[in-house]
């Protein structure tokens, strides 16, 4: 039986945070580069606060602590995303791809554009796993690892090639990353990725439905199921002719305005 507090509320909370947080990060990294230092300072404070929140929430297996740990994990994740999209932590290579490279050489070059970011994410995931190994509330680490895995599959799919490489959310100073995208095509990897994340969504949803009504386990599983469902949606965006900028046009408005005025 579907529960309002155990299923519906977590669903809307996750969607709302995902939509607002994505838009705020897009807004911050599409502003003038002079604002990036301040944005990173604010993001750093938020990230460290999120880590503390995860640690505090991990000691309590109550509904409020589940929400707290969930929000804390997204704060840490947002810090990493801001660092990547502002260019503070991307990779040692900051230029377009060499079109003459193929195979493993092309992969190595592409990996060097995001290496620092991926290593930072992996180390953070390992840190959260170690801190949450034997605690009552492991939602923070689970959320971060789930998002890391879904983001990694999306990047690999973009490298291999997807039907829709819409990248309106990518700021102009990272436009060179588009040269590492594969050609527009549907691949078995993308299909398997969508099915795999859908299976994870189904597993979390089944746990949410089977948990005691109103319990912390039900709320946590519902949050994770919704997060995984959003991952399915984002991978579907790679397969369907959908412009992701349509959802966050308000966040990209300050970037589009100069482009329109320069053409007059």
Tokens of residue 45, six digits:
């404070």
> Where in the sequence is the domain holding 38, given as residue range(s)?
4-254
Q: Cα separation of 217 and 208, whole Å?
A: 7
Burial environment of residue 218 by CB neighbours within 10 A (0 to 12, 13 to 18, 19 or more): buried
Residue 233 lies in a domain: yes
Residue 263 lies in a domain: no
Burial environment of residue 84 by CB neighbours within 10 A (0 to 12, 13 to 18, 19 or more): buried
Residue 208 lies in a domain: yes
Q: Cα separation of 138 and 181, whole Å?
A: 35
The predicted pLDDT at position 22 comes to: 84
| Cβ within 8 Å of residue 258, ≥6 positions away | none
Residue 71 lies in a domain: yes
Tokens of residue 236, six digits:
């579907």
pLDDT tens readout for residues 168-192: 778 888 889 999 999 889 999 999 9
Reference 111, options 155, 81, 147, 153; nearest CA is: 155
256 vs 76 pLDDT, higher one: 76
CB 55 within 8 A of CB 74: no
Residue 80 lies in a domain: yes
Residue 152 lies in a domain: yes
The predicted pLDDT at position 264 comes to: 37
Q: Cα separation of 14 and 247, whole Å?
A: 16
Burial environment of residue 7 by CB neighbours within 10 A (0 to 12, 13 to 18, 19 or more): buried
Q: Is the pLDDT of residue 3 over 60?
A: yes
Mean pLDDT taken over the chain: 89
State mean pLDDT over 144-161. 95
| pLDDT class of 259 with cuts at 50, 70, 90 | very low
The number of distinct structural domains making up the chain is: 1
pLDDT tens readout for residues 223-257: 999 999 999 999 998 988 776 666 666 666 655 44
The DSSP call for residue 212 is P
| pLDDT class of 98 with cuts at 50, 70, 90 | very high
Q: Is the pLDDT of residue 80 over 70?
A: yes
The predicted pLDDT at position 26 comes to: 81
Residue 264 lies in a domain: no
Q: Is the pLDDT of residue 140 over 70?
A: yes
């Amino acid at each position: 039986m579907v529960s309002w507090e155990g299923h519906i509320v977590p669903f809307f909370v996750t969607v709302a945070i995902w939509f607002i947080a994505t838009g705020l990060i897009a807004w911050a990294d599409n502003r003038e580069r002079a604002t990036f230092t301040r944005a990173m300072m604010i993001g750093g404070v938020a990230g460290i606060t999120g880590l503390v929140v995860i640690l505090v929430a991990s000691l309590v297996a109550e509904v409020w602590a589940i929400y707290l740990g969930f929000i804390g994990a997204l704060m840490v994740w947002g810090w990493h995303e801001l660092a990547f999209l502002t260019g503070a932590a991307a990779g040692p290579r900051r230029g377009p791809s060499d079109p003459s490279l193929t195979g493993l050489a092309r992969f190595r070059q592409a990996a060097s554009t995001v290496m620092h970011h991926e290593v930072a994410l992996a180390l953070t995931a390992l840190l959260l796993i170690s801190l949450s190994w034997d605690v009552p509330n492991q939602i923070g680490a689970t959320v971060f690892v789930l998002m890391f895995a879904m983001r990694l599959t999306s990047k690999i799919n973009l490298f291999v090639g997807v039907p829709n490489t819409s990248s309106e959310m990518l700021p102009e100073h990272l436009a060179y990353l588009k040269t590492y995208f594969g050609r527009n095509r549907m691949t078995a990897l993308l299909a398997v990725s969508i099915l795999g994340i859908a299976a994870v969504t189904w597993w979390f949803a089944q746990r949410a439905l089977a948990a005691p009504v109103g319990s912390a386990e039900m709320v946590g599983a519902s949050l994770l199921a919704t997060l995984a469902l959003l991952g399915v949606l984002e991978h579907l965006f790679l397969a369907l002719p959908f412009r992701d900028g349509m959802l966050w046009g308000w966040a990209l408005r300050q970037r589009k305005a100069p482009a329109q005025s320069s053409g007059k």
